Amino acid sequence: MVETHGGMLCMIQEIQVGNWKMLMAQKVQCQTWRSWSIQRAVAETVPTDDRKMLEDDSLKVEWSTMHIQTQNSFMSHNGMKESFADKSQRHLHLQHLEADLSSALWLVRSRANGVVSHKHQGNSIDELHRPSDAWEFQETEIVNARDKLQSVRAKLAILEGNLSFKIMEARKVMEERQKRIDAAQNALHLLRMAYIVWPNSASEVLLAGSFDGWTGQRRMERSSSCIFTLQLKLYPGRYEIKFIVDGVWKTDPLHPIVHNNGHENNLLIVD
């Protein structure tokens, strides 16, 4: 069935393949196919009445459309802007293209056999070979296009597999980093502010303790009332501390005192 809409030729061909049917609907401009070489090859050998049948054959429209669609698919694979939004649509489009190419190939072979059989009587071998060569060239073009399409699908599957693997690895790294960030944030929420005071007079007071493994000495600030203070952010627990007053290690008798391995220290409890 042939329909014309706005200068475009719409050709619908229903094909029986095995136990299923495929409905092909394609639109191309009327002059697209007529410039193809099959017309030149057949025009010299096929009588006028039969030549008109070939010119109006739906296969011309189908093959031209398949060729255009396949070329568009190749350009998309080579970095051109893709016409589909997601992977599922892209795979579905490639499957449709491959099915259409297979259907077109089936049509070419069946039509070629029909033409050769129809012209067998009354024609020479050379005259029979001319349209046969044209159909063979057309068949080769479709087979090559289908092979390229299958190659594109295979390469696309490999790329998508590699991309999925890299995404999974990156997601694992991000999850591990997020766990560490969450743990650090939770730890920060547990910190408490501890206020330490040395109420006696002195020129300089330093503080050391088990809160950092006795590795450092922190300078305490002197207020206008000659009281030394220090604020520390510590986790809840029990710590031992000791003051270094003008270079001499001392404990504050106003705070709890503990003895550890012969050392006397003040006890600091953080709730």
What pLDDT does 212 receive? 94
Q: Which residue has the tokens 């491959």?
A: 98
Looking at the predicted structure, is the pLDDT value of residue 210 above 90?
Answer: yes
| 36 phi and psi angles, rounded to 5 deg | -75, 160
User: How many other C-beta atoms can be found within 10 angstroms of the C-beta atom of residue 205?
Assistant: 24
**pTM attached to this predicted model:** 0.41
Q: Which residue has the higher pLDDT, 217 or 92?
A: 217
| Tens digits of residue pLDDT in 154-200 | 888 888 889 889 999 999 999 999 999 999 998 888 999 999 999 98
Q: Going along the chain, which residue ranges are E strands? A: 2-5, 8-17, 20-29, 192-198, 205-209, 218-219, 221-222, 228-234, 237-245, 248-250, 257-260, 263-270
Residue 226 burial (C-beta neighbours within 10 Å; 0-12, 13-18, 19+):
exposed
Among 46, 180, 70, 36, smallest CA distance to 119 is for 46
